[in-house]
Structure formats: structure tokens, C-alpha cells
Structure 1
Amino acid sequence: MINDFWDPILLSIKIASIASIIVMVIGTVIGNYMAKNVFKGKMLLETLLILPLVLPPSVIGFILIIIFGTNSPIGQMIESIFNSTVIFTWWAGLIAAIVVSFPLMYQMTKAGFKHIDINIEEAARVDGANEIAVFFKITLPLSLNYIISGFVLSFTRSLGEFGATLMFAGNIPGKTQTVSTAIFVAIDSGKMGLAWLWVLSIIIISFSLLLFIQRINDPGK
């Protein structure tokens, strides 16, 4: 009974943590590039990057099944290399979490990089700093609060992901069952007490993380 309660929570935290780290790295690189460069097709690319934010989870789940399914080139390649499929594994839950949480990270990092006064970076370049030094010593520290906020928002979004995960990873207890899908099953089975425990757990974790964001962004309050 104890494992039945903790397994979905621990799996959700595991998926959300890994997904948030991945989108933080990718989102920081892409956000920095998009904030500082103008090129043909930028609006189209940016629309594509934030599209998962507004798409129904079922649509995202369907697209992921098409991309990684056993009949797709990617799915067949994965199966030939690893002798396994992605669908209905916790890896599917991880991929779904990355896709749905990336737009939040991207928007936060892009906002952070656009917020930086370019004269500060230019001054460092004039003093002889190369692009790598400028990024790690000036750009990154000045946008750190935005990156942390993006990480936390991505984590909470991944933690609560339901629709795409259910379609792509399924709901296998002890294997792919996240806390969101567990809540759904508990309610459907009439186990309202257990559902409430999971709901309260997610609320407490999410509330604490969002409060943390408020603290770092506005420490005076």
C-alpha cells in the first residue's frame, strides 16, 4: 500500500527533474540565440517552439505516437538499437514532459536574455572577452533568475502532465503510472481518500516551488 502511494509520486518527480534539466539546457541555448538574432523565418520557428503550450495534450500524445511508434523510422531505429520501444515506458513519459514544458522554459530564458542591456556585453567584448566568456560571466549571471524561474515552471508543468503522458506512456502501475494518471484512476475507482492524498501532495510541492520563484524574483515582499 505504501509503495502504491509513493511510486507514482517518485516517478513523477524523477521525470520532472530530468525533463527540467534537459529543457533548461536546450531552452537556455535556444532562448539566447532567439533573443539576440534576427533571421528569415524567425517568427515561424518561434511559433513552432511555443506551439505545445496551446495544443491539446491529446494532440501532443498523438503526434509523439506517430513520431516514436513502431511503424515510424525513429521508432524502428530505436527498436533496432535498443531492442525495445519507447511507447509505454517511462521514457515516453519523459519525452512527453520535455515537449509540454519546453515552451515555458524557452519563454522565460528568452525574456531574461532580452532584458539584458547589450551595452554591458559589448563593453566586455571591447575589453577582450570572447563570446564564451561573455556568456558565462555576464549574460548567464544577469539572466539567472529567469532561468531558475523557467526551471521551476518546467518542473511543475512536467509534474502535473496528464493527457500526453496517458496516451504516449500509458498508465502501468509501478512502471509508467505518474501521480496525475494515478489520481485519475483513483477517482474512477472511487478511492477518493487516496486521490486526495495525491492531490494534496502535488499542491504542496507546486505551491512551495512557486513561492520560491516569488521569493527570488521579489525578495522584498
Structure 2
Amino acid sequence: MSSAPGAIPAATTRADRAQSAGDGAAPFGDRRGGGLRRAVPVAAPVVPLVLAAWLVLASVPIGGPGGRALIWLGALAAPLCLLLWISAGLVLGDLARYRPRYATPATVWLTVAAWFGALCLGFFLPDLIDGRGQSLFTALAGPEAVGLSAGFANTVGVLTFAAAAGSVVSASLDVRRTRARLRGEAVEPDPEEEDRLRQEWVDSFRASEAASRRGGGPR
């Protein structure tokens, strides 16, 4: 006999039921995954701070921070940190209601993509040191590669913010689905709501790209 949507599976152990009663979570049991899907939610509140510091201080090995450090803090590090914190808060809020503590694959991979993109962005982002643009990339490729470094930084920056915004959208959908299951409602999301959230993600991606083009990107 099939169970109603949101019902706790019969295979749930007595210990799981006791723990779920204590922490307010429901052991649905339909999420499976490895260590990454457990580790990402644990690291999510801390990693944004590390990445923000990296974007501002990546030029330290080549004599920085330079004249653009505060610009990158306000224009890149702080907004990206905020997006990733929102995503982390949604993920942790979802897992507070959902056992076992696995985040969904889409949210995990979008979050990891944003983290990796920020690492690459710090490598290519030119800081103003000794009156000229320099980055870790130009330290390896030569000072004449500053234009190429800026171009890579523009592209990687847009992709990084798109992944971070996508993780927020994905995590918000996860929260919506989990709340619906706890209420015993259908798990399938509202198609119109999904379309609206996807359009917001596309709009944020286009806005980031347009702002990058208008500003001419880092030089």
C-alpha cells in the first residue's frame, strides 16, 4: 500500500524517530549521498568569509594589497559573501527539518561551483600595485598579460555570481519542497513558482554580465 506524500517511511528506525522527535526534523530517508553532500552544508557558513578574504588579499604574494583592494571588497567580495550566506542559511534551514542531513545535488554542485569560481577569480583579479595592474596570473605569465588576466576575471566573475545566485534559487526550492512534505502536501513544486525563480536567476546573470561590460571590467 502506498504511503501519503510526506509520510515517514516504514523502514525508519526507532532511533531515527526518537532523534527526529527531539530535533524537529522528519527522517524522510529518500536523500542519499556521499561525504560531499554532508560536508558542504557544514562548511557553507565559513567558506564565504574565506573566499571574501581571498578576493581582497590574493595579491599579497606579489606585494599587495594594492589600490583596488577596497574596490574588490565592496564590488565583489561582500556581495558574493552575502549571496553564499543566504544560500547557506537556506540549506541549513532545510536540513533542520530534513533527515538524513544531505543537501540536494543541485544545491551542492552550484555552491561548489561558486566556491571554485571565487578561487579562480582571485587568481586572475588584477590589483593596482606599483602603479600597474598585477595579479597572480601576471606573476606567472608576465606583466604584458594583464589584459588577458582582466578578461578571464570578467568571465569567471560573471559565472561565479551566476552559480552563487543559482545556489540561492535551488536552496529556496529545497526549503519549499521540505515544508510541503512536512505539511503532507504534494512534493511537486508549483511550475509557475519554479519558472519565476529561474527567471530571477537568469535576470541576475544578465545584470552581472551587463554591469561588467558597462564598467569595462577590471584592468
User: TM class by shorter-chain length?
Assistant: 0.3 to 0.5
Q: Which has the higher contact order (CA 8 A, sep 6+)?
A: 1
Structure with the larger helix share: 1
TM-score using structure 2 length:
0.35
